[in-house]
Chain A
Amino acid sequence: MKPYGIHFGVGVVVLAAISILMSAWLHGAAKRVEESKAAKEGEVAVASASDVQYCSPALKTILRRVLTSCGLVKGGGSRGCQPVEAKNVAAMSGDDFNALFAPMSERAALIQYEVDKAELDEAAKALVDKTFSDQKGASYFLVVSRASPEGSVEHNRALSEARANAVLDHLKTTFNDPDLEQEVGLLWLGKEFAQLDEQFCQWKRSHAEQQCDVNQLNRSAFVAWIDCRL
C-alpha cells in the first residue's frame, strides 16, 4: 500500500474507532435520560411530622375530639377546656382518660407544685424546658394540670387553670416559638375527673427526690408531646 493510503487508512480507522465508541456511550446516556423521565417519582421520603405506632385510629378519634374542644386543632374552640367538657368530648371514665397517655410515658413529665400554689420552681422549669425542647416530630404539646383533693371544687378548678397557664407563660417567655398557639393545649382538671394514681409515681417528676404520694402527684401538670398527626 502506498504511504498516502496507509496515512489516510490509519487515520480514518483510529478516528472512527473512538468516535463510534463515544457515540455508543452517549446513546446509552440519552436512553437512560428518557427512561428516567418515564420512571415514577417519589423514591425519596418526604419530610413529615411523626405519627408513631400508638397513634391508632381509635386514639386519634378521641384525641381529635379532645384537642378540637381544647383549641389545639384549627377550627376548634378557645384554648383550654373545663373538666366537664373534657369528660364529654372524651366520653370516657377518668381511668380510661389517663390510659390514653400511658404509651407516652417516655415523652411525658409531671411538673409538680407546692400546696395551693401555681408557680413553677426551678426544678419544674428545668423539666418543662427539657420536655418541650424534645419535641421531635410531635405536633401537639398537652398540658393537663390537676389539683389535689383538698379545697373546694371551684378553688381546685381555678388553681388547676392557673397551673396550666403557668406552664404556658413559661413556654412563651423561654421559647420564641411562633407556633406556640397552635401546638400547646391546656386542659385543667379538678379533683372530680381523672386523678392520677400511684402508677404515675414512676414517671419523670420535677420533685423526683421527694417521696411520691397520690395527693402530691395530683398537685401537678402533666406535660407531653403527642406524636400523632391528626
Chain B
Amino acid sequence: MTRPKNALFLVLMAVFASGGILFSGISSYDFIVHLDRQVHAITCSFIPGAGSLDTTGTSGCYAALMSPYSSIMRTTVWGGIPIALMSMSVFAYLLFRALDVLLGKKRSDPHESLFLVAASFLPVFMSVIYFLIAVYLVGAVCKLCMGIYIASAGVFVFAILSCWKAFRAQKGGEEQAAGAAKTSVPWSRFAVYFAEGLVFVAVPVLLYLALKPAYTEEMSRCGDLAHGEDKYGVRVRLAGSASGVPAVEVLDPLCPACKGFKERLEASGLVERLDLQGVLFPLDKQCNWMVSESLHPGACAVSEAVLCAGDRAPDVLTWSLEHNEELRELGALDAKAPPTKKGPPEYARVYARVLQEFPSLGDCVNKPAVRSRINKSLRWIVSNSLPVLTPQLYVGGRKLCDEDTDLGLEFSLSRLLETRMSMALPGATAGIPAGPAGGRP
C-alpha cells in the first residue's frame, strides 16, 4: 500500500474544526452569559474579538441568539439547551477525529477518512438548515453563525479530500499487490466512533444541565396588577383566543424591544393559550410626563393611531413595530421643530406617515378625544404603579419577569400559564376583570 499524502488535508481539517470550536464557543459563551437573566453585550464579528460588541441588541447575532431556534427544550429548561453548545461539541469531536487519524498513524486506512467524511456531513447539513432558518424565519444572518457555516464547509471539504487521497493511495497499493483481498467496511469500529461522538455531545450537555443556574420559584415572582380592571376602556385586543388566560401586554408601538418580544411570543406558540390585550405606554414626553426625554419620539402620535384603529389595532401595531426606526426618526425631526403659537410642536411628519398607511384614521388622530384615551392608558399604568419600561406582560394578573422575556420566555411563560390555569377560575382572572376592548375613541 502507498502511504497517502493526505496529512495536509487532515491538518487543514483540524484547523477548520478548531475554527468551528472557536465560533461555536463564542456563541455558546454569549448564550451562557445570559443565563444570569441580565442584559449583556454580545460578540458579533467574523474575527472574534476584533469587532465591537453589540450593546444595543440590533445585530443579527442578537436576533439569532434571542430567537427560539437558538436552543432546544426551551419549555423544560430555562433558556433551553443551546444549539451552539452542541455545535461546539461536534467540532471538538471532529478535531479529535482528525488529530487521531493524523497522530495515530491511521492515514493509510481509507475507512478512517471515510468516517471523517460521514461525521463532518452533520455540521454541513445543520449549517444549511440553520442558514435557511436564519434567512426565512429569523430574518437576520449572524456573523458568528457564518463563521460556523464556513468552518463546517471547510471541515467537510478537507475530509473529502483526505478520503480521496487515502482511497487513491489504497488503489495504487492494490494495483501493486494484485490479487490482495479487498478490505470490508469496519462497521464495528464505526459504531465505536459513533458512540464516542455521542459521548462528546452528551458530556457537555449533561454538564450544562447540571451546572446551569437554578431557576427558583422565588425568581418568578415579579409582582401583580393591583387594579387590572379596564375601567377606562383603553385596552386593545392583540392576539390569542377568547378562551385563553387573560393577559395584558404593556407596550410602546415604537419600541424595538416590543417588536422583538412580539416576535418571540409568536414564535413560542404560547400566544394561542393567551387572551392577549395591550395597554399603550408610549415612552415619549409629548404625552408621557413620566419620561424627561423621549425614548421613542413619535410614540404618542402612533399610539393614537393604534387606539383609533379599533378592530384593526393589531394591524396598526404590527406596522408601527415593523417601521419603528423610520417613525422614530420622523418623530425626532418633528420634535426639533420650533414651538407653534398653539403650543409645542406637533408630530406632523409622524401623523402624515401614519395617515399615508392608514388614511381612514384621519378623522380620529390628533384630536382631544383620542388624546384623552392615551392619557387614560397612562393613568391605568400609574394606578398599577408599573415600572416605566416596555414591554411588560401580565398573565392572569401576574407579571412575567422582565428577565424572562427573552431566552427564558418559553420556560417561564409556560410555567406561569400552568400556574394560572391550575388555579381556581376566579383566581385565574384575578386582576383582569372583563372590560371593554378593541377601542374606539
Q: Do A and B bind each other?
A: yes
Residue with the greatest number of chain B CB neighbours at <10 A, chosen from A18, A48, A179 = A18
Please name the residue on chain A nearest to B96 by beta carbon: A14
**Pairwise interchain contact A175-B372, C-beta atoms closer than 8 A:** yes
In the assembled complex, the CB of B311 is this many whole angstroms from the nearest CB of chain A, namely 19
Interface string of A13-38 (1 = CB under 8 A from B): 01101110111011111101100110
Interface string of A122-148 (1 = CB under 8 A from B): 000000011011111100000000000
Q: Which residues of A contact B378 (CB under 8 A)?
A: 47, 137
Contact of B35 among A3, A29, A47, A179 (CB under 8 A): A29
Contact of B100 among A7, A29, A37, A48 (CB under 8 A): A7
Contact of A134 among B105, B212, B371 (CB under 8 A): B371
Is A50 part of the contact surface with B, judged by Cβ < 8 Å? yes
Is B133 part of the contact surface with A, judged by Cβ < 8 Å? no
Q: Which residues of A contact B106 (CB under 8 A)?
A: 3
The residues in A between 35 and 94 inclusive whose CB is less than 8 angstroms from any CB of B are: 36-37, 44-50
**Pairwise interchain contact B95-A137, C-beta atoms closer than 8 A:** no
Binding-face segment, B45-53, B114-122, B201-209: B201-209
Please name the residue on chain B nearest to A12 by beta carbon: B96
Number of contacting residues on B, CB 8 A? 60
Task: Please measure, in the bound complex, the distance between the C-alpha atom of A204 and the C-alpha atom of B316, giving whole angstroms.
Answer: 35
Please name the residue on chain B nearest to A16 by beta carbon: B203
Given contacts A6-B104, A44-B387, contact A22 B204 (CB under 8 A): yes
Is B280 part of the contact surface with A, judged by Cβ < 8 Å? no
**Pairwise interchain contact A25-B33, C-beta atoms closer than 8 A:** yes
Total A-B residue pairs with C-beta atoms closer than 8 Å?
145
**Pairwise interchain contact A25-B387, C-beta atoms closer than 8 A:** no
**Pairwise interchain contact A14-B92, C-beta atoms closer than 8 A:** yes
Q: Which residues of B contact A134 (CB under 8 A)?
A: 371
**Pairwise interchain contact A137-B36, C-beta atoms closer than 8 A:** no
Contact of B290 among A19, A47, A175 (CB under 8 A): A47
Is B167 part of the contact surface with A, judged by Cβ < 8 Å? no
Task: Please measure, in the bound complex, the distance between the C-alpha atom of A136 and the C-alpha atom of B382, giving whole angstroms.
Answer: 11
Interface string of B366-381 (1 = CB under 8 A from A): 0011011001101101
In the assembled complex, the CB of B356 is this many whole angstroms from the nearest CB of chain A, namely 25
Interface string of A153-166 (1 = CB under 8 A from B): 00000000000000
Task: Please measure, in the bound complex, the distance between the C-alpha atom of A145 and the C-alpha atom of B286, giving whole angstroms.
Answer: 29
**Pairwise interchain contact B213-A33, C-beta atoms closer than 8 A:** yes
Please name the residue on chain B nearest to A134 by beta carbon: B371
Task: Please measure, in the bound complex, the distance between the C-alpha atom of A11 and the C-alpha atom of B195, giving whole angstroms.
Answer: 13
Is A210 part of the contact surface with B, judged by Cβ < 8 Å? no
Is A199 part of the contact surface with B, judged by Cβ < 8 Å? no
Is B232 part of the contact surface with A, judged by Cβ < 8 Å? yes
Is B38 part of the contact surface with A, judged by Cβ < 8 Å? yes
Task: Please measure, in the bound complex, the distance between the C-alpha atom of A29 and the C-alpha atom of B212, giving whole angstroms.
Answer: 8
Given contacts A15-B199, A25-B32, A137-B290, contact A49 B382 (CB under 8 A): yes
Is B200 part of the contact surface with A, judged by Cβ < 8 Å? yes
The residues in B between 1 and 49 inclusive whose CB is less than 8 angstroms from any CB of A are: 21, 25, 28-29, 32-38
The residues in B between 39 and 91 inclusive whose CB is less than 8 angstroms from any CB of A are: 85, 88-89
**Pairwise interchain contact A29-B388, C-beta atoms closer than 8 A:** no
**Pairwise interchain contact A46-B200, C-beta atoms closer than 8 A:** no
Given contacts A15-B92, A47-B388, contact A29 B372 (CB under 8 A): no
**Pairwise interchain contact B381-A29, C-beta atoms closer than 8 A:** no
Given contacts A133-B369, A137-B382, contact A11 B100 (CB under 8 A): yes
Task: Please measure, in the bound complex, the distance between the C-alpha atom of A3 and the C-alpha atom of B100, giving whole angstroms.
Answer: 8
Given contacts A15-B200, A133-B372, contact A46 B208 (CB under 8 A): no
Is A198 part of the contact surface with B, judged by Cβ < 8 Å? no
**Pairwise interchain contact A15-B203, C-beta atoms closer than 8 A:** yes
Task: Please measure, in the bound complex, the distance between the C-alpha atom of A163 and the C-alpha atom of B33, giving whole angstroms.
Answer: 65
Task: Please measure, in the bound complex, the distance between the C-alpha atom of A12 and the C-alpha atom of B93, giving whole angstroms.
Answer: 10
In the assembled complex, the CB of B344 is this many whole angstroms from the nearest CB of chain A, namely 9
Is A176 part of the contact surface with B, judged by Cβ < 8 Å? yes
The residues in B between 186 and 234 inclusive whose CB is less than 8 angstroms from any CB of A are: 196, 199-200, 203-204, 207-208, 211-214, 219, 231-233
In the assembled complex, the CB of A21 is this many whole angstroms from the nearest CB of chain B, namely 7
- 9 additional A-B pairs beyond A18-B89, A26-B208, A46-B385, beta carbons within 8 Å, are A22-B204, A25-B28, A30-B35, A44-B387, A44-B388, A45-B290, A47-B290, A106-B343, A178-B232
| Nearest 4 Cβ contacts at the A-B interface | A133-B368, A137-B289, A32-B36, A129-B368
Listed in ascending order, the chain B residues whose CB lies under 8 Å from chain A are 21, 25, 28-29, 32-38, 85, 88-89, 92-93, 95-96, 99-100, 103-106, 196, 199-200, 203-204, 207-208, 211-214, 219, 231-233, 287-290, 343, 368-369, 371-372, 375-376, 378-379, 381-382, 384-389
Listed in ascending order, the chain A residues whose CB lies under 8 Å from chain B are 3, 6-7, 10-11, 14-15, 17-19, 21-23, 25-30, 32-33, 36-37, 44-50, 106, 129-130, 132-137, 174-179, 227
